[in-house]
């Protein structure tokens, strides 16, 4: 019985000219999303890999220099393009992908894609993630909006309800017909993107990313399932194609455009972002005047001098068996580092609060919840970016210690020394970390799935004349 | 085969059907006459289980509709005034779908045979229903009733808008089905059709069954007079 309903629905769908045109349009968009994502991934990963090599090569071949001056030559810590950025590049365009590693200064993010882009980029980058988060739900609503309402409009509902088929069978058949169509698209998209991943420059990493890739598609399948159930249920509840279309597209507009913008404004008002000026003023003040009564920089310098003389059992700096300057550099590197850590922690805490507001708003929008899940699975979210920034900073300090230790004994460093400074290499955290980080959005998505199932049970009881 | 016991349907203060008591035997054709809003379609909808009764019971072959609607659905076929089918499917595909929904599996040949019995030309079998006339749709509706092997037919103004030839063909098929033991409850405005086709005629007005007549015992002229008098009388009283 269910199979019969599925067959009939699919026949009707494929014989409706506007639906066929819609499908063709969606397939073209899907192809475009795949192409865009792939070309972005290939060009970015190649550019970053090359830049990383070039700047590091320049650093280790800078020749004989004072070690500290040589350290200031610096090099870049690049965040490699996440393999799954081909699917969803998340906030990569906004966070940038590199930190400059040099003494005293925590790296400031550079090379944000959006700074080179035109205003059109504000609409988002069209890739598989964009397609799945925004276009696919709209397509599902366009397919599902009249799957039931047409029965009332055609008058066929009486014929169906006077048959042997139960309301549950009819609902299941119609839902499955929509799902077959949607999941066929998903499978096509999944196979095509997997194919492109295996063609990409990091295809040797494919086995490592399959888990995240699989979970991404599982999440997408759940998302599409809940969207389809909502579409079919609303079609049944409204019994009117126009009303159903208006309701569903309104829900889409609300979830995709209005709620994100509104919640973004609310989060900024509740937790105003720390401006560059505030950040600079605070860190400058804390570096110069110290925190928790540790005294001004001059006072701390005097204490350091006393302690160093005492440590080496001498009365004059000139009598020290090591160079004193690297000791002061290392000392203030550490204390300034603490100031910077505190300042960055404040920024990150504020960002977390803002993100929490955004995530809370996804209680009203499954699109937002899936977007968050998608970014976390593809490691293109803020959380992963902060992890990268943290590891890049640790690397910068590690380089500082290596250089300062060398500087205490030597005033000149050559290429043999520079080669001992390690290259920065970042690997995004594994699937367990990503899943833990995505737990709130997964919970919200599951909540929405439950709501859609309840709506389904509520609606099919309304299948009467 | 069909039985209504004090069957009542009210929408707020408006009573669409008021304590209907009715019994129809196997193979009997019962025509319900009445103007718009008399309660004819409400009666059919209650028997089909499309709407719940406010009070009273409806039975089909001894099974109470409100208690086991699934079982009563298996026994009935319904042909509305306009047989609504899926316009993008052919007549054959529509028939295949509805026969399948009724739990019957037929070959294309068998389905074609049902279509022929219903009077549809073979050349139309595979054309999309969107190109069908009302009469052709009605024939597909009959074919659907035939494939279901229904014990009871509910017809709601089935010949409205059909040309005399198509209407006559339709009557012949209903008569044939009656001879095979199929009971029919038909709501109609057509007095001549009711007189010629029905075994019994019930005249309804404002939700009440006002009078029952045996069609063989009343002439068309008398039926017309009785009908007009009943309706008029009530309207004057109102």
pLDDT digits (tens, 9 = 90+) for A118-157: 555 555 678 888 899 889 999 999 999 999 998 888 888 8
Residues of A in contact with B87 (CB under 8 A): 154
Query: Which pLDDT belongs to residue A140?
Result: 94
Query: Are B103 and A158 inside 8 Å of each other by CB?
Result: no
**What is the pLDDT, as a whole number, of residue A109?**
61
Q: How far apart are CA A21 and CA A317, in angstroms?
A: 83
What pLDDT score does A291 carry?
77
- Give chain B's contact residues with A (Cβ, < 8 Å): 45, 48-51, 70, 73-74, 76-78, 80, 82-89, 93, 97-98, 100-103, 144, 148, 154
CB A131 within 8 A of CB A37: no
Nearest to A162 among B51, B76, B85 (CB): B76
Contacts of B50 in chain A (CB under 8 A): 158, 161-162, 464-465
> Residue B70: phi, psi to the nearest 5?
-65, -40
**B45/A465 Cβ within 8 A:** yes
Q: Which domains does chain B have, with CATH numbers?
A: 2-237 (3.40.50.300)
Kind of pairing between the strands at B200-205 and B208-214? antiparallel
Average pLDDT over residues B14-24: 89
A11 touches B: beta carbon within 8 Å:
yes
A293 dihedral zone (left: phi>0; alpha: psi -120 to 50; beta): left
The average pLDDT across B136-158 equals: 86
**% residues pLDDT > 90 (chain B):** 15
Q: What's residue A206's pLDDT?
A: 78
The pLDDT assigned to A217 comes to 92
Sequence-distant (≥ 6) Cβ neighbours of residue B28 within 8 angstroms: B1, B178, B183, B184, B199, B200
- Provide the pLDDT for residue A111: 52
Q: Which tens digits make up the pLDDT trace of A265-286? A: 888 888 888 888 888 888 888 8
- CA A283 and chain centroid, separation: 28
A interface mutation test: which of B9, B100, B102 has the most A CBs within 10 A?
B100
Q: Is the CB of residue B66 less than 8 Å from the CB of residue B52?
A: yes
Q: For residue B236, what pLDDT is reported?
A: 47
The β-bridge relationship of strands B2-11 and B14-24 is: antiparallel
DSSP E strands: which ranges in B61-111?
A: 63-64, 76-79
Mutate to test the interface with A, among B9, B42, B84, B150 (most CBs of A within 10 A): B84
For residue A231, the model assigns a pLDDT of 94
Q: Which residues, 6+ apart, have CB-to-CB distance to A449 below 8 Å?
A: A222, A225, A226
How many Å lie between the alpha carbon of A156 and the closest alpha carbon of chain B?
Answer: 5
Q: Which stretch of DSSP H or E encloses residue B193?
A: helix B191-197
Check residue B235 and give its pLDDT: 52
Q: Of the candidates A16, A155, A162, which has its C-beta nearest B48's C-beta?
A: A162
Q: Inter-chain contact A154–B84, Cβ cutoff 8 Å?
A: yes
**How far apart are the CA of B180 and the nearest CA of chain A, in angstroms?**
21
Of A79-93, A420-434, B35-49, B145-159, least confident by mean pLDDT is: A79-93
Q: Where are the alpha helices (DSSP H) in A200-323?
A: 206-238, 241-253, 259-270, 276-289, 297-312
Any CB–CB contact under 8 A between A165 and chain B?
yes
Of all residues in chain A, the one with the smallest CA distance to B152 is: A162
Residues of chain A with pLDDT under 70: 106-124
Backbone φ/ψ region at B56: left (φ over 0), alpha (ψ -120 to 50), beta: left
For residues B202-214, give the mean pLDDT: 86
Burial A169-206 (b: 16+ CB within 10 A, else e): bbbbbbbbbbbebbbebbeebbebbbebbeebebeeee
The secondary structure element, H or E, covering residue B33 is: strand B29-33
Q: Which residue from A11, A155, A163 is facing B84, i.e. has the nearest CB?
A: A155
The H or E element that residue B236 is part of is: helix B220-237
Higher per-residue confidence, B162 vs A31:
A31
Q: Which of residues 181-240 of A touch B (CB under 8 A)?
A: none
Residue A108 carries which DSSP code? P
A159's tokens: 């014929």
Task: Please tell me the predicted confidence (pLDDT) of residue B238.
Answer: 43
Comparing CB atoms, the residue among B51, B93, B98 nearest residue A159 is B98
């Amino acid at each position: 019985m269910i199979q019969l309903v599925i067959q009939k629905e699919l026949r009707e769908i494929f014989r409706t000219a506007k639906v066929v045109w819609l499908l063709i349009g969606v397939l073209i968009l899907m192809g475009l999303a795949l192409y865009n994502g792939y070309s972005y991934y290939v060009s970015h990963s190649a550019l970053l890999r090359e830049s990383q090599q070039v700047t590091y090569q320049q650093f280790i071949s800078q020749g004989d220099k004072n070690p500290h001056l040589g350290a200031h030559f610096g090099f870049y810590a690049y965040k490699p393009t996440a393999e799954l950025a081909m699917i969803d590049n998340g906030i990569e365009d906004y966070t940038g992908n590199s930190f400059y590693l040099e003494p005293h200064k925590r790296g400031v993010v550079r090379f944000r894609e959006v700074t080179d882009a035109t205003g059109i980029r504000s609409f988002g980058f069209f890739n598989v993630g964009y397609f799945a988060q925004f276009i696919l739900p709209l397509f599902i609503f366009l397919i599902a909006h009249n799957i039931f309402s047409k029965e009332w409009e055609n008058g066929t509902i009486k014929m169906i309800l006077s048959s042997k088929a139960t309301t549950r069978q009819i609902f299941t058949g119609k839902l499955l017909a929509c799902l077959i169509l949607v999941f066929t698209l998903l499978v096509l998209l999944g196979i095509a993107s997997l194919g492109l991943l295996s063609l990409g420059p990091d295809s040797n990493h494919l086995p490592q990313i399959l888990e995240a890739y699989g979970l991404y598609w599982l999440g997408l399948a759940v998302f599409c399932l809940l969207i389809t159930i909502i579409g079919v249920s609303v079609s049944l509840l409204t019994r009117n194609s126009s009303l159903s279309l208006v309701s569903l597209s309104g829900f889409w507009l609300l979830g995709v455009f209005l709620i994100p913008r509104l919640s973004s404004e609310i989060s900024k008002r509740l937790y105003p972002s720390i401006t560059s000026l505030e950040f600079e003023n605070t860190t400058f003040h804390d570096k110069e005047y110290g925190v928790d009564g540790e005294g001004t920089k001059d006072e701390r310098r005097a204490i350091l001098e006393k302690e160093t003389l005492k440590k080496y059992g001498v009365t004059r700096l000139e009598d020290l068996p090591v160079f004193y300057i690297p000791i002061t550099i290392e000392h203030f590197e550490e204390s300034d580092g603490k100031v910077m850590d505190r300042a960055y922690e404040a920024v990150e805490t504020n960002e977390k609060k803002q993100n929490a507001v955004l995530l809370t708003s996804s209680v009203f929008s499954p699109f937002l919840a899936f977007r968050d899940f998608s970014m976390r699975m593809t490691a293109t979210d803020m959380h992963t970016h902060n992890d990268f920034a943290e590891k890049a900073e640790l690397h910068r300090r590690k380089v500082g210690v290596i250089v300062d230790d060398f500087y205490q004994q030597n005033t000149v460093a050559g290429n043999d020394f520079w080669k001992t400074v390690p290259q920065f290499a970042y690997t995004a955290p594994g699937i367990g970390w990503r899943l833990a980080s995505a737990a709130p959005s997964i919970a919200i998505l599951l909540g929405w799935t439950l709501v859609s199932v309840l709506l389904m049970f509520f609606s099919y009881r309304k299948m009467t004349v | 085969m069909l039985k209504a016991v004090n069957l009542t349907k009210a929408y707020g203060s408006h009573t669409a059907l008021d304590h209907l008591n009715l019994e129809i035997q196997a193979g009997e054709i019962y025509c319900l006459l009445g103007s718009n809003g008399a309660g004819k379609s409400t009666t059919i909808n209650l028997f089909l289980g499309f709407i719940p009764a406010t009070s009273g019971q409806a039975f089909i072959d001894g099974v109470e509709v409100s208690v086991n609607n699934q079982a009563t659905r298996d026994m009935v076929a319904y042909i509305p005034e306009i047989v609504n089918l899926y316009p993008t499917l052919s007549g054959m595909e529509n028939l295949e779908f509805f026969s399948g929904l009724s739990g019957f599996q037929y070959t294309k040949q068998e389905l074609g045979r049902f279509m022929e019995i219903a009077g549809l030309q073979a050349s139309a079998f595979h054309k999309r229903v969107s190109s069908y006339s009302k009469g052709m749709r009605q024939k597909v509706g009959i074919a659907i009733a035939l494939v279901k092997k229904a014990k009871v037919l509910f017809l709601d103004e089935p010949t409205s808008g059909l040309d005399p030839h198509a209407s006559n063909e339709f009557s012949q098929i209903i008569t044939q089905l009656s001879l095979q033991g199929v009971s029919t409850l038909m709501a109609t405005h057509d007095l001549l059709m009711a007189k010629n086709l029905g075994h019994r005629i019930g005249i309804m007005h404002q939700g009440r069954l006002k009078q029952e007549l045996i069609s063989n015992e009343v002439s068309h002229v008398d039926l017309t007079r009785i009908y007009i008098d009943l309706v008029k009388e009530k309207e004057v009283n109102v």
